[in-house]
Amino acid sequence: MSDARERLIILYFNAVPGIDAVSAAVSDLPGVAAALLARTDEASRRADMWRRDPLQCLPTGRLALDFTDPQASIPDRQTLSRSLGGFAYHCQTRAPIELEMAVGETFSGTLQLCCFHRRRGIDDRQLRRYWFDDHTEVAVTTQNTLGYFQNWVLSGGGPDFDGIVEEYFPPEASQSMTAFFADGHDETLMWGHVERLTASSERFLDLERTEVIHLTDTRIL
Protein backbone atom coordinates (compact mmCIF):
# COMPACT_ATOMS: atom_id res chain seq x y z
CA MET A 1 0.00 0.00 0.00
CA SER A 2 1.34 3.43 -0.90
CA ASP A 3 1.46 6.32 1.54
CA ALA A 4 -1.19 9.01 1.31
CA ARG A 5 -0.53 11.64 -1.33
CA GLU A 6 -2.50 14.40 -3.03
CA ARG A 7 -4.35 14.07 -6.32
CA LEU A 8 -6.54 16.35 -8.38
CA ILE A 9 -9.56 14.75 -9.97
CA ILE A 10 -11.65 16.50 -12.60
CA LEU A 11 -15.15 15.08 -13.02
CA TYR A 12 -17.14 15.70 -16.18
CA PHE A 13 -20.92 15.48 -16.21
CA ASN A 14 -21.58 16.39 -19.83
CA ALA A 15 -19.19 16.38 -22.80
CA VAL A 16 -15.71 15.05 -22.09
CA PRO A 17 -12.84 16.76 -23.93
CA GLY A 18 -10.72 14.68 -26.26
CA ILE A 19 -7.31 13.29 -25.41
CA ASP A 20 -5.48 15.83 -27.59
CA ALA A 21 -7.25 18.80 -25.97
CA VAL A 22 -6.59 17.54 -22.45
CA SER A 23 -2.99 16.69 -23.26
CA ALA A 24 -2.37 20.21 -24.57
CA ALA A 25 -3.94 21.82 -21.49
CA VAL A 26 -2.13 19.55 -19.02
CA SER A 27 1.22 20.16 -20.66
CA ASP A 28 0.98 23.81 -19.55
CA LEU A 29 0.60 22.87 -15.87
CA PRO A 30 3.81 22.77 -13.79
CA GLY A 31 4.91 19.60 -12.04
CA VAL A 32 2.41 17.11 -13.48
CA ALA A 33 3.80 13.59 -13.02
CA ALA A 34 0.87 11.66 -14.50
CA ALA A 35 -2.47 12.40 -16.18
CA LEU A 36 -5.15 9.79 -16.83
CA LEU A 37 -8.35 10.43 -18.76
CA ALA A 38 -11.30 8.03 -18.44
CA ARG A 39 -14.31 8.12 -20.77
CA THR A 40 -17.19 5.94 -21.88
CA ASP A 41 -16.76 3.83 -24.99
CA GLU A 42 -18.08 0.57 -26.40
CA ALA A 43 -15.98 -1.50 -24.00
CA SER A 44 -17.00 0.40 -20.86
CA ARG A 45 -20.67 0.35 -21.83
CA ARG A 46 -20.58 -3.45 -21.57
CA ALA A 47 -20.30 -2.87 -17.80
CA ASP A 48 -23.55 -0.90 -17.54
CA MET A 49 -25.00 -3.56 -15.21
CA TRP A 50 -22.89 -1.93 -12.47
CA ARG A 51 -24.17 1.60 -13.13
CA ARG A 52 -25.92 3.44 -10.27
CA ASP A 53 -27.37 6.93 -10.63
CA PRO A 54 -29.71 7.67 -7.69
CA LEU A 55 -28.79 11.38 -7.61
CA GLN A 56 -29.05 11.96 -11.37
CA CYS A 57 -25.54 13.40 -11.48
CA LEU A 58 -23.57 10.51 -12.95
CA PRO A 59 -20.08 11.47 -14.18
CA THR A 60 -19.40 10.99 -17.88
CA GLY A 61 -15.62 11.16 -17.51
CA ARG A 62 -12.72 11.60 -15.11
CA LEU A 63 -9.29 13.21 -15.36
CA ALA A 64 -6.79 12.31 -12.60
CA LEU A 65 -3.63 14.38 -12.10
CA ASP A 66 -0.67 13.42 -9.93
CA PHE A 67 2.12 15.89 -9.22
CA THR A 68 5.85 15.62 -8.60
CA ASP A 69 5.55 17.93 -5.59
CA PRO A 70 1.89 18.28 -4.56
CA GLN A 71 2.54 20.81 -1.80
CA ALA A 72 4.18 23.20 -4.24
CA SER A 73 2.57 22.30 -7.54
CA ILE A 74 -1.18 21.80 -7.22
CA PRO A 75 -2.86 24.71 -9.02
CA ASP A 76 -5.98 26.54 -7.94
CA ARG A 77 -9.06 24.38 -8.47
CA GLN A 78 -11.08 27.13 -10.10
CA THR A 79 -8.29 27.94 -12.55
CA LEU A 80 -7.95 24.25 -13.36
CA SER A 81 -11.69 23.87 -13.90
CA ARG A 82 -11.72 26.80 -16.31
CA SER A 83 -8.78 25.45 -18.30
CA LEU A 84 -9.87 21.81 -18.41
CA GLY A 85 -13.63 22.02 -18.01
CA GLY A 86 -15.53 19.91 -15.51
CA PHE A 87 -15.31 20.22 -11.74
CA ALA A 88 -12.04 19.91 -9.80
CA TYR A 89 -11.70 17.90 -6.57
CA HIS A 90 -8.57 18.19 -4.45
CA CYS A 91 -8.09 14.80 -2.76
CA GLN A 92 -5.95 12.97 -0.28
CA THR A 93 -5.26 9.67 -2.03
CA ARG A 94 -4.20 6.23 -0.90
CA ALA A 95 -3.56 3.34 -3.28
CA PRO A 96 -3.94 -0.06 -1.57
CA ILE A 97 -3.32 -1.61 -5.00
CA GLU A 98 -1.14 0.52 -7.26
CA LEU A 99 -1.77 0.23 -11.00
CA GLU A 100 1.13 1.16 -13.24
CA MET A 101 0.27 2.30 -16.77
CA ALA A 102 2.70 3.52 -19.41
CA VAL A 103 2.13 6.85 -21.17
CA GLY A 104 -0.23 6.20 -24.08
CA GLU A 105 -1.53 2.94 -22.60
CA THR A 106 -5.25 2.22 -22.31
CA PHE A 107 -6.27 -0.14 -19.52
CA SER A 108 -7.66 -3.34 -20.99
CA GLY A 109 -10.54 -3.63 -18.53
CA THR A 110 -12.67 -0.92 -16.95
CA LEU A 111 -12.29 1.71 -14.28
CA GLN A 112 -15.16 1.68 -11.79
CA LEU A 113 -15.65 5.24 -10.59
CA CYS A 114 -17.64 5.48 -7.35
CA CYS A 115 -18.52 8.96 -6.04
CA PHE A 116 -20.12 8.79 -2.63
CA HIS A 117 -21.58 10.75 0.26
CA ARG A 118 -20.86 9.50 3.75
CA ARG A 119 -23.68 8.23 5.93
CA ARG A 120 -25.32 10.98 7.92
CA GLY A 121 -23.85 11.20 11.41
CA ILE A 122 -20.41 9.87 10.40
CA ASP A 123 -17.63 12.29 11.33
CA ASP A 124 -14.15 12.53 9.78
CA ARG A 125 -12.55 10.28 12.39
CA GLN A 126 -15.13 7.55 11.85
CA LEU A 127 -14.97 7.88 8.07
CA ARG A 128 -11.20 7.47 8.09
CA ARG A 129 -11.39 4.39 10.35
CA TYR A 130 -14.28 2.69 8.56
CA TRP A 131 -13.06 3.46 5.02
CA PHE A 132 -9.26 3.65 5.10
CA ASP A 133 -8.66 1.15 7.93
CA ASP A 134 -11.49 -1.39 8.17
CA HIS A 135 -12.92 -1.45 4.64
CA THR A 136 -9.69 -1.67 2.65
CA GLU A 137 -9.04 -5.34 3.42
CA VAL A 138 -12.66 -6.23 2.70
CA ALA A 139 -12.64 -4.47 -0.67
CA VAL A 140 -9.45 -6.12 -1.94
CA THR A 141 -10.40 -9.63 -0.81
CA THR A 142 -14.01 -9.71 -2.04
CA GLN A 143 -13.47 -8.26 -5.51
CA ASN A 144 -11.27 -9.05 -8.51
CA THR A 145 -9.59 -5.65 -8.21
CA LEU A 146 -6.43 -4.95 -10.23
CA GLY A 147 -6.01 -1.35 -9.05
CA TYR A 148 -7.58 0.49 -6.11
CA PHE A 149 -7.37 4.22 -5.26
CA GLN A 150 -9.20 5.82 -2.33
CA ASN A 151 -9.62 9.59 -2.81
CA TRP A 152 -10.79 11.55 0.23
CA VAL A 153 -12.18 14.87 -1.07
CA LEU A 154 -10.52 17.76 0.77
CA SER A 155 -12.25 20.44 -1.30
CA GLY A 156 -14.22 20.54 -4.50
CA GLY A 157 -17.51 20.52 -6.29
CA GLY A 158 -20.01 21.05 -8.45
CA PRO A 159 -21.71 18.06 -6.93
CA ASP A 160 -20.24 17.68 -3.45
CA PHE A 161 -18.84 14.23 -2.67
CA ASP A 162 -17.01 12.99 0.41
CA GLY A 163 -15.05 10.33 -1.45
CA ILE A 164 -14.14 9.21 -4.96
CA VAL A 165 -13.08 5.59 -5.39
CA GLU A 166 -11.23 4.35 -8.48
CA GLU A 167 -11.15 0.56 -8.90
CA TYR A 168 -9.83 -1.27 -11.94
CA PHE A 169 -11.39 -4.55 -13.06
CA PRO A 170 -10.52 -7.05 -15.81
CA PRO A 171 -12.67 -7.19 -18.97
CA GLU A 172 -14.52 -10.33 -17.89
CA ALA A 173 -15.86 -8.55 -14.79
CA SER A 174 -17.90 -6.18 -16.97
CA GLN A 175 -20.76 -8.64 -17.40
CA SER A 176 -20.10 -11.36 -14.86
CA MET A 177 -20.84 -11.16 -11.15
CA THR A 178 -18.69 -14.20 -10.46
CA ALA A 179 -15.73 -12.65 -12.30
CA PHE A 180 -16.30 -9.32 -10.53
CA PHE A 181 -16.36 -10.75 -7.01
CA ALA A 182 -13.08 -12.67 -7.24
CA ASP A 183 -14.36 -16.20 -6.83
CA GLY A 184 -14.17 -17.98 -10.17
CA HIS A 185 -17.49 -19.74 -10.71
CA ASP A 186 -18.51 -20.38 -7.10
CA GLU A 187 -21.84 -18.57 -6.71
CA THR A 188 -22.13 -19.40 -3.01
CA LEU A 189 -18.79 -17.73 -2.34
CA MET A 190 -19.78 -14.87 -4.65
CA TRP A 191 -22.90 -14.06 -2.62
CA GLY A 192 -20.85 -14.26 0.55
CA HIS A 193 -18.48 -11.68 -0.91
CA VAL A 194 -21.41 -9.47 -1.94
CA GLU A 195 -22.88 -9.56 1.55
CA ARG A 196 -19.54 -8.88 3.24
CA LEU A 197 -18.70 -5.99 0.92
CA THR A 198 -22.17 -4.43 1.25
CA ALA A 199 -22.15 -4.66 5.04
CA SER A 200 -18.71 -3.02 5.21
CA SER A 201 -19.64 -0.28 2.72
CA GLU A 202 -22.85 0.60 4.54
CA ARG A 203 -20.91 1.42 7.70
CA PHE A 204 -19.67 4.67 6.16
CA LEU A 205 -21.25 5.44 2.77
CA ASP A 206 -24.84 6.19 1.85
CA LEU A 207 -25.70 3.79 -0.98
CA GLU A 208 -28.70 5.95 -1.90
CA ARG A 209 -26.35 8.89 -2.52
CA THR A 210 -23.63 7.02 -4.39
CA GLU A 211 -22.94 7.32 -8.12
CA VAL A 212 -21.20 4.45 -9.94
CA ILE A 213 -20.09 4.19 -13.57
CA HIS A 214 -17.51 2.16 -15.50
CA LEU A 215 -15.14 3.99 -17.84
CA THR A 216 -12.18 3.23 -20.09
CA ASP A 217 -8.98 4.80 -18.76
CA THR A 218 -5.97 6.03 -20.75
CA ARG A 219 -2.74 7.49 -19.40
CA ILE A 220 -1.99 10.58 -21.49
CA LEU A 221 1.06 11.89 -19.61
Indicate the domain borders of the chain.
5-219
Helices 77-84 and 19-26, axial angle in degrees (round to 10): 140
Helix (H) or strand (E) holding 187: helix 187-201
pLDDT at 77 over 80: no
Among the ranges given (79-93, 122-136, 172-186, 194-208), the one the predictor scored with the smallest mean pLDDT: 79-93
Q: How many residues does the chain have?
A: 221
pLDDT at 71 over 80: no
DSSP state of 172: G
Which residues, listed in sequence order, are joined to residue 166 by a DSSP beta bridge? Answer: 113, 149
8 Å CB contact between 193 and 183: yes
For the residues 46-63, what does the mean pLDDT come to?
Answer: 97
Q: Domain 5-219 is of which CATH architecture?
A: 2-Layer Sandwich (3.30)
| Contacting residues for 45 by C-beta, under 8 A, at least 6 apart | none
CA–CA separation, 39 vs 32, rounded Å?
A: 20
Residue 55 C-beta-side C-alpha neighbours within 13 Å: 19
CA–CA separation, 166 vs 15, rounded Å?
A: 20
Higher per-residue pLDDT: 106 or 33: 106
| Band of residue 40 on the pLDDT scale cut at 50, 70, 90 | very high
pLDDT at 76 over 70: no
What pLDDT shows up at residue 122?
Answer: 95
Termini Cα distance of the chain: 23
pTM for this one?
Answer: 0.94
CA–CA separation, 173 vs 184, rounded Å?
A: 11
